[in-house]
Amino acid sequence: MAKRSNPLQPLLEQLPRPLRNKYFVTIALFLAWMVFFDNHGILTQFKLQRTVNKMHRDKAMYEEKIEEAKQERLDLEVNKEKFAREQYYMKKQGEEVFIIEETED
């Protein structure tokens, strides 16, 4: 029985040694699939993590704004007269109100 030679053998001999190893090729294909094509791949995970970080920053900013609004509400409840005078230019009988506008230079 004569041994049949593979017609692709000369081409396989020209490939670098790691590319001839079926385990190396399998792992490389798996990594490429995970990085570029999979829905839960590495690139997708980086994008999702960036989105989560942005949402945490936004949450902190909104919590800070909520605290400021709560403080303004407490100030309003404590000093309604001051709020009415500053926001609506209200005055008592016999008082004069002077409005000073600052210009930006």
Cβ contacts of 75 within 8 Å, gap of 6 or more: 83
Structure tokens at 74: 């407490």
Given a cut of 60, whether residue 50 has pLDDT beyond it is: yes
Residues 40-60: what's their mean pLDDT? 92
- 85 or 64, which is more confident? 64
Query: What is the reported pLDDT for 62?
Result: 98
* Dihedral (Cα; 30, 33, 39, 45), 10-degree rounding: 80
Query: What is the reported pLDDT for 65?
Result: 97
pTM for the model stands at 0.50
